[in-house]
């Protein structure tokens, strides 16, 4: 994965970068907070390791900016996983790290083994988050498809009879079969009534405020378009 390492201490930055590169990650380095932020905006790293205390922008400030930044328009980029490295160990300091939106922290002095373990934990959490989002997307899609099916069944159910009556009387008038003026007027009345019924169904569908479904046939549901739910 693409990893950014930001630390103003050259030796510490080299250690962290080496551990990550050995694990097979693509590493970009920054020597201060401003450089780290520039790289985040330009390259959108997936995993960010930030030293808390850096000149210009602190690691905490970079983290806060990352969490406040919205994904670019038209993209679904995941926010980066942020690991803060800190020499501070007080409870209030660690709470500050988490309040800034960091996913994890690592206390100094750090070892290569501890860092490697934290990165593995981060990778697993990222994979779990992606799986959860994928499952949620699939569920939303299934619900959307089910909603379309329920709507189609409801519309068919509500307009099938009036549409049949309307078309039947239109066909009768177009057939050329001789009918009395009274019979023609009755056919026209039926056509108008059934068209009004269909229009009412469309209006209820357009103004539905509390969509709910009801059982249509066993194992099949449809959108409830009854008039009491307008």
The CATH code of the domain at 2-110 is 3.40.50.2300
pTM of the predicted model over 0.95: no
Q: Which of 22-31, 65-74, 83-92, 204-213 has the lowest mean pLDDT?
A: 65-74
Q: What is the pLDDT of residues 97-132, one digit of tens each?
A: 889 999 999 988 888 999 999 999 999 998 888 888
Q: What is the pLDDT of residue 74?
A: 46
Q: What is the pLDDT of residue 47?
A: 95
- Hey, where are the domains in the chain? 2-110, 139-229
156 contacts: CB under 8 Å, gap ≥ 6: none
Q: By 3-state DSSP, what share of the chain in percent is helix, strand and coil, each rounded to 5?
A: 60, 15, 25
β-pair partners for 222: 214
β-pair partners for 81: 47
Between the two ends of the chain, the Cα-to-Cα distance in Å is: 52
pLDDT exceeds cutoff 70 at 229 = no
CATH topology of domain 139-229: Helix Hairpins (1.10.287)
């Amino acid at each position: 994965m693409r990893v950014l390492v930001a630390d103003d201490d050259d030796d510490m930055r080299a250690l962290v970068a080496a551990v990550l590169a050995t694990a097979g990650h693509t590493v970009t380095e920054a020597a201060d907070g401003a450089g780290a932020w520039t790289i985040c905006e330009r390259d959108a790293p997936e995993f960010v390791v930030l030293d808390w205390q850096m000149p210009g922008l602190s690691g905490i400030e970079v983290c806060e900016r990352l969490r406040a930044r919205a994904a670019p328009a038209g993209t679904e980029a995941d926010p980066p996983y942020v690991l803060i490295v800190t020499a501070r160990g007080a409870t209030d300091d660690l709470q500050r790290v988490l309040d800034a939106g960091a996913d994890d922290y690592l206390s100094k002095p750090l070892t290569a083994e501890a860092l490697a373990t934290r990165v593995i934990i981060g990778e697993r959490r990222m994979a779990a988050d992606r799986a959860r989002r994928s499952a949620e997307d699939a569920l939303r899609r299934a619900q959307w498809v089910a909603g379309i099916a329920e709507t189609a069944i409801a519309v068919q159910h509500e307009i099938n009879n009036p549409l049949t009556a309307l078309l039947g009387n239109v066909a009768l008038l177009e057939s050329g079969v001789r009918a009395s003026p009274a019979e023609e007027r009755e056919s026209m009345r039926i056509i108008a009534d059934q068209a009004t019924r269909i229009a009412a169904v469309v209006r209820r569908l357009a103004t539905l405020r509390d969509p709910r479904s009801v059982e249509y046939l066993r194992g099949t549901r449809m959108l409830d378009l009854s008039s009491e739910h307008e």
